[in-house]
Amino acid sequence: MKRRELLGLGGIVLVASCGSDGRPSRVEPGELLAVGVTDGLTVVESGTGRRVVAPAAALATADGRRLLSTVAEAGTSKVVTRDAATGDVVAQTTVRGAGRLAAVAPDAGLVALVDGDPAGRQETTIVVAGPAGERHRLTLPGFVQPEAFSSGGTSLFVLDMLPPEHPDHYRVRVLDLAAGQLNALNLPNQNAGVKVLVPEGAEEEMRGEGRQAVFDPKRERLFTLYSHQPDHQHVRDLLHPGARDGRPDVHAFVHTLSVADAWAVCVDLPTSFGTGAVEGLTIAQHAGEVWVADAGKGVLAVIDADALVVAHEQAFPPVAGRARLAVSGSAAYLAAGRQMHVFDAGTKEVRATWPLPGEAKGVAVSGTHLYVGQPDGVHRLDPSTGARTATVAVPGLTAVERVIG
């Protein structure tokens, strides 16, 4: 790496300094960060930039502790599971065919692979595998895309894309793995253990693309941010504008899926969400709240994770650029463009705006540090003041995803 490139990041912590005895000071490895780079997902030491896991097209478990990838080998796919903190292989299994990773259970005990044209197809093959090998191989009519496993691992939640060859809308269904049968979801019910299927013909059909998803392990709910951009319209859109039928003013929503009880609820976001650049949309979850921001429009919505309603709306100075949110106990950090907006976790108001030297490429927060991605590097910031405390080079960085811990 050239010296000019190092200086362009404001100094690299890898450059050794001398202690009082004249010997180079030891560089601490620091916290582990899951980051995207040009050749896939990897884990790096925040203090040194050393890669703990080789980059690969991988899926992470909801807690980020396991990374799964596939290796094609002579008509088979080897699924490799690694410990994100060490890079060690903790499990691997081989299945027939060249499937793509589509979903992983929270504990990495099950993985779903899918085969078929990702643009549109009349038939879908889904393979579910565990540490001991293939468990289920199902070929279903239509375009069926795995999303998440049920809590017990007996079912797989899927998107049923319609029409299958040229999809422009979808419905969420549940696949009984033992029976190989697609079924409707249950109706949301406040009575624990009481499950009632959505009546035939009443399944909600939606339009939009999933932008980001976060999983709440306590409530066993998957929150997925969807948007339907008004500049991409099909005939169906012209007949039924908006992201959901009957709501022409809704352009973005958070799809809430209970993986324990197999029901789903759409939380509609305020009208201005999803009407601007897609890159400005972002979501994060912390404690009993789900935070959603549209940076380009300067709007924030905070959803009550139990009541599943927008409990708070907040305006802030809009900023163009790819946006990402990270929330801690006291603050939420929105990195977009060359700015970091800091929101008070209680009042939801902006309490500070910090300039960034380069375009933001993701953000993550731990109990002691704040990390923001920059072109080819990561800055470590003081989460209270925004002061830069360290910088490390990460060539080819595309996004800071999370702190592994």
Token pair in block for residue 274: 């999803």
**Residues 202-215: tens digit of each pLDDT:** 788 888 788 899 99
**Lowest mean pLDDT, pick from 65-79, 142-156, 246-260, 338-352:** 246-260
**Residues 95-123: tens digit of each pLDDT:** 999 899 999 999 999 999 999 899 999 99
Which string of DSSP letters, residue by residue, matches 195-240? --BPPTT----B--EEEEEEEETTTTEEEEEEE--TTS--HHHHHS
Cα–Cα distance between 85 and 62 in angstroms, integer?
15
First vs last Cα of the chain: how many Å apart?
A: 30
Token pair in block for residue 266: 């759409």
Residue 3 above 70 pLDDT? Answer: no
CA distances from 157 to 147, 150, 175, 221 (A): 6, 7, 6, 12
More confident residue, 46 or 231: 46
Structure-derived torsion over alpha carbons of residues 32, 342, 320, 119, reported in degrees to the nearest 10? 50
The CATH architecture annotation of domain 61-183 reads 6 Propeller (2.120)
Amino acid, single-letter form, for residue 398: T
What is the pLDDT at residue 15?
Answer: 33
DSSP 8-class letter at 234:
-
The arithmetic mean of pLDDT across residues 29-45, rounded, is: 97
Kindly give the residue spans of alpha helices, DSSP state H, lying in 133-289: 235-239
**Lowest mean pLDDT, pick from 160-164, 224-228, 333-337, 390-394:** 224-228
Judged by DSSP in three states, 119 sits in: coil
User: Order of strands across the sheet with 51-56?
Assistant: 51-56, 40-45, 32-37, 397-404
Taking alpha carbons only, the member of 82, 72, 20 closest to residue 51 is: 82
Strands 123-130 vs 323-327: parallel, antiparallel or unpaired:
unpaired
What is the pLDDT at residue 144?
Answer: 98
**Residues 229-267: tens digit of each pLDDT:** 544 333 334 334 544 455 556 789 999 999 999 999 999
Q: Check if the beta carbon of residue 266 is closer than 8 Å to that of residue 256.
A: yes
